[in-house]
A and B are shown apart, each in its own frame.
Chain A
C-alpha cells in the first residue's frame, strides 16, 4: 500500500510542495521568533481564512482571497510596527473581529464544506501541479528578499535602537518582514491549514534557537526541522490514514521537546564552547576592578 502510494504523482507533488513551503517557513521563523511575532503570525493566518471565506462566497479562488487577507493584515502590522503589549492587544482585537466575519461568511457560503475544512486543517495531498508552481515562485521571491536584506533584518530584529543609529530603516524593514511573513503564512496554510501554521513557522525556529547561538546555523536547523516534519508527516499519512497536519505538528513538536531537553541537560555543548568560561570570568574581573 505504502509503496504503491509512493509511486503516485500526487504524492510527489505533495512532497515537493511540502519541501518548498518548509524551507521558507523555517527561514522566516527565525525572524518571527526573534521579533516575538508569534501571535502576529496567528492573526495573519486567521485573517487569511477570513479572506478565503470571502473569496468562496464571491465565487473566486480561495487562495487569492487568503493571500489578500494575510497580506493586508501583514501590511497593517508592519506599518504600525508596534511592540510588546500594545501590539498583542491590537492583534487580539483585530483577530477576533476578523474571525467573526469569517464565521459569518462561512455561514453564507452554499458550496461544499470540505473547502473550508481544507483551509482550516490543510490539504497537502490535494496540491495541483499549477499550485506547486505558484508555491515555488512565491517561495523563491521570499528567499531572495530574505537573502538580500538578511543582515539589516537581523540587526533591526534583535537590536532596533542601535540598528537605527547605524542608519537601518526600521519602518521599511518592519513592513518588509511582515509582508514576507504574510506571504509565507499564506503558503503554509496550503500545506498545514490555518490552525496549524504555527507548527511550521514557530516551532522549528523555536527548537533551533535552543540548539545553537549561531544565527546562520539556527536558520539552517530551523529549515531542517521544518523539512523533516513536513516530509515525515506526509509519508506517515500514507501509511496510516490520519490527517497529515497531525503528523507534521507532532514531529515538529517532538523536535521542540528534544531541543529543550538537549538545551537543559547540556547547555555548554549545545550553545557554544564559551559558556563554561563565562561564569568564572564574571566575578573575578568585577572584584579585581573594584579593588584597584
Chain B
C-alpha cells in the first residue's frame, strides 16, 4: 500500500488513444477517503471510457491504476450506478432481487438464501428509502424509484469506490436531488470516494469536492472554483469560453457543445 490511508483511488500517467485520436495523455489524480470527484466534459472525450478503465473492462494505452492498492479487476470493489434506463414492465425481478444482484449476481453456482444476505439487502433498501417497495416488481416502478434501487444495488456490496455514469439523466429535478443526496450521504457516512460522470455540474455543485474536466486532447483537475473559470476552460478549449455564475448555477458559454444546456445525450455505447 504505497498511497497509505489518504489515497483510495490512484490514477497515474493514464493515456488513452482511439486509433489516431488521443483522448488524454498522462492523466493523473488521486482520490482520498470520501472525496467527491465530478468528471465533466463534452461527448467523446472519454468520460465513460475512464470509468471503464477503472472498472478493468477497458485497457488504457499506458498508465497505472490502483483501487485500494490493487489493480481494479481483481476485487471488483466498485459500486457502479449507470444512467437510468427504464426496465421492461414484465421483467421478473422484484426490487430486492435487483439489489441482490449487486451482492452475488456475478457468482456462479446455486446459493441458498441466507439471513446475512437478506439483512444487507434490507439495509441497502432502507438506506435509499426503498423499503416500502422492496417486494414490488421493478418494471412497475417509476424511473426515479428504479434509480433509487440502482443506488442501493451499488451500495449493497460495501464498495471501496462508487462510480456513477450520468445517473441523473432523464430524472426530474426532485429525483435528481434525491439521488445526489443519497450518494452524498453515503460517501460522508462511509468514506467511499465517488467518481461522478455528468454533463451538467449544477445538480451536484453543492456536494462536489473536485472537478476533472476532459476537453478534446486536454484535461484539468481541481476544485470547481479553480476549474470552472473562463481562464481554465478557454485554455482547455483553445478558444474563448465564458463561465458565468448565475444564482449559484454555473453556465458555460462558447464551448463547441455548451454543457449547461439540456440536450439529448449521445450514448457512448450501443443502446439497449
Contacts beyond the supplied A158-B101, A219-B92, A289-B178: 11 A-B pairs with Cβ under 8 Å:
A147-B110, A155-B101, A163-B105, A165-B55, A213-B97, A214-B97, A272-B135, A274-B132, A278-B133, A282-B145, A290-B177
Q: Assess whether A160 is interfacial by the CB under 8 Å rule.
A: yes
Chain B residues, CB < 8 A from A34: 88, 91-92
* A residues 83-130 touching B (CB-CB < 8 Å): 83-84, 86
Q: Assess whether A210 is interfacial by the CB under 8 Å rule.
A: yes
Partner of A273, one of B135, B181, B271: B135
> B135 near A215 (CB under 8 angstroms)?
no
Chain B residues, CB < 8 A from A290: 173-174, 177
| A172 and B142 alpha carbons, distance in the complex (Å) | 32
The secondary structure that dominates the A interface is: helix
Knowing A148-B109, A286-B144, say if A165 contacts B270 (CB, 8 Å): no
* B residues 95-147 touching A (CB-CB < 8 Å): 95, 97-98, 101-102, 104-111, 129, 132-142, 144-145
- Which one of B75-83, B196-204, B230-238 is at the A interface? B75-83
Q: Assess whether A149 is interfacial by the CB under 8 Å rule.
A: yes
Q: Assess whether A2 is interfacial by the CB under 8 Å rule.
A: no
* A residues 162-195 touching B (CB-CB < 8 Å): 162-168
How many positions in chain B have a CB within 8 Å of any CB in the partner chain?
58
Find the residue from A83, A160, A208, A289 having the highest chain B CB count within 10 A.
Answer: A289
- A105 CB, nearest partner CB in chain B, Å: 36
Q: Assess whether A212 is interfacial by the CB under 8 Å rule.
A: yes
- B85 CB, nearest partner CB in chain A, Å: 8
| Smallest CB gap from A211: residue in B | B92
Knowing A214-B97, A290-B177, say if A152 contacts B107 (CB, 8 Å): yes
| A163 and B82 alpha carbons, distance in the complex (Å) | 11
Chain B residues, CB < 8 A from A271: 136-137, 140
A-B contact pairs, 9 of them (CB 8 A): A83-B270, A149-B108, A151-B104, A151-B105, A161-B269, A165-B78, A213-B91, A267-B140, A275-B136
- The digit string for B177-191, where 1 denotes a CB below 8 A from any CB of A, is 110010000000000
A interface vs B, CB < 8 Å?
Answer: 30, 33-34, 36, 83-84, 86, 147-152, 154-155, 158-168, 206, 208-210, 212-215, 218-219, 267, 271-275, 277-278, 281-282, 285-287, 289-290
| A271 and B93 alpha carbons, distance in the complex (Å) | 10
> B87 near A152 (CB under 8 angstroms)?
no
> B132 near A277 (CB under 8 angstroms)?
yes
> A152 near B132 (CB under 8 angstroms)?
no
Chain B residues, CB < 8 A from A281: 132-133, 145
> A151 near B94 (CB under 8 angstroms)?
no
Partner of B108, one of A86, A151, A215, A282: A151
> B174 near A289 (CB under 8 angstroms)?
yes
| A34 and B111 alpha carbons, distance in the complex (Å) | 22
> A289 near B177 (CB under 8 angstroms)?
yes
Chain A residues, CB < 8 A from B85: 161
- B198 CB, nearest partner CB in chain A, Å: 17
Find the residue from B57, B94, B136, B272 having the highest chain A CB count within 10 A.
Answer: B136
Partner of A84, one of B55, B142, B272: B272
| A213 and B150 alpha carbons, distance in the complex (Å) | 17
